[in-house]
Amino acid sequence: MFSRKKFIKFVVLVFLLVNISALIAAGRGGGKIQGFGSFGLDFFGPVQEALSSGIGYLEKIWQSYFNLVYVSDENLKLKSDLKEFYSKETAYKEVFFENERLRSLLKFSKKIKPEYIAAEVVGRDTAKWFNTIIINRGKDSGVFVNSPVIVPEGVVGQVIKVSKNYSKVLLITDRMSGVDCLIQSSRGRGVVSGTGNDLCIFKYILRKFDVNSGDHVITSGMDKIFPKGLRVGKVVNVKRKDSGIFQDVDIMPFVDFEKLEEVLIIITPPNEKKDD
């Protein structure tokens, strides 16, 4: 009925359609298929770890040599900064204790302090299409999918794949990323989404909220992934269109993702994070 050529063409076409459908289906689910890639993470993880520590060591030698030139200037600047932070810390402590007293007066539930573990960045994505990093902590250390990853400067991203000893973290600058956030001053709420480059965009923020360049953006805690109040970035550009209910806001993350070496992972499961 069919010639051999036609049969081969038919089979190839069927395979192509099945392949495309499977990828579309996987893409709809956010591409988070668990289990499949964990062997690869465990396989390449140790090699990447050894390589990155070797490269890091060489970089540190190089940098420490050049840094010597700037050390004295930097020392003076840090001393003056420290004086300013001492006075700020005293003010923050007062506000903190006042807040604790008021919370107990209002009988608010006590906030559970999240548990952190430190991890080293051992690898990056193999292509520029996606912004992910690989860290040397996995299931054995208590890391789970969606664990928030932070550094003292701000939010880094969230874990999307976990193997025994390694995890893959989706950075907030990735196009697939979304973090529920607030403008710290005006309390306007929206979603910070990555663009694939250094900047992020703050989506779905209503026009009624006053947003200005320099405003800080923090996590809202409403996505049940990131705890409330983590620093995310600074507003760098605001565009208010004549029509529409939202405004376009560009954000520069506080974290320098190119220089990321160590991160902190919050390992308190989401069901233990109590809200006010």
Residue pair 166/135 in contact (Cβ under 8 Å)? The answer is yes
Question: Of 55 and 118, which CB lies nearer to another protein in the complex structure?
Answer: 55
Distance in angstroms (rounded) separating the CA atoms of residues 149 and 159: 7
Tell the smallest beta-carbon distance from residue 119 to another protein (Å): 17
> What x/- string results for residues 73 through 112 when contact with another protein is judged by CB under 8 A?
----------------------------------------
Tokens of 69: 């030139």
From the list 84, 242, 258, 276, which residue makes contact with another protein (rule: CB under 8 A)? Answer: 258
Q: Considering the rule CB under 8 A, would residue 170 count as an interface residue with another protein? A: yes
Q: For residue 273, give the DSSP letter.
A: -
**Single residue of 111, 114, 117, 125 touching another protein by CB under 8 A:** 125
Check if the beta carbon of residue 174 is closer than 8 Å to that of residue 131. yes
Q: Does 139 contact another protein by CB under 8 A? A: no
In the set 103, 111, 139, 175, which binds another protein (CB under 8 A)?
A: 175
Comparison of 7 and 39: residue with beta carbon closer to another protein: 39
Residues 27-46, interacting with another protein (CB under 8 A): 27, 31, 33, 36-41, 43-44
Q: Phi and psi dihedrals of 261, rounded to 5?
A: -125, -45
Total number of residues shown for the chain = 276
Report CA 210 to chain centroid distance, whole Å: 26
Phi, psi for 156 (deg, rounded to 5): -100, -50
> Does 52 contact another protein by CB under 8 A?
yes
Closest C-alpha to 112, from 257, 260, 270: 270
Position 17 contacts another protein (CB under 8 A): no
The reply on whether position 129 binds another protein by CB under 8 A is yes
Residue 11 found at the interface with another protein (CB under 8 A): no
Contact status: 55 vs another protein (CB under 8 A): yes
CA dist 231 and 43 (Å) reads 34
Sign for the pseudo-dihedral over CA of 264, 153, 50, 175: positive
Q: Does 197 bind another protein (CB under 8 A)?
A: yes
Nearer residue to another protein within complex by CB, 60 or 101: 60
- Report yes or no: 202 and 240 within 8 Å, Cβ to Cβ: no
Is 155 within 8 Å of 172 (Cβ atoms)? Answer: yes
Of the residues 117, 145, 151, 201, which one makes contact with another protein according to CB under 8 A: 201
Distance between CA 16 and CA 53 in Å, rounded? 42
Contacts with another protein by CB under 8 A lie at: 12, 16, 19-20, 22-24, 26-27, 31, 33, 36-41, 43-44, 47-48, 51-52, 55, 123-132, 134, 160-161, 168, 170, 174-176, 195-197, 201, 258
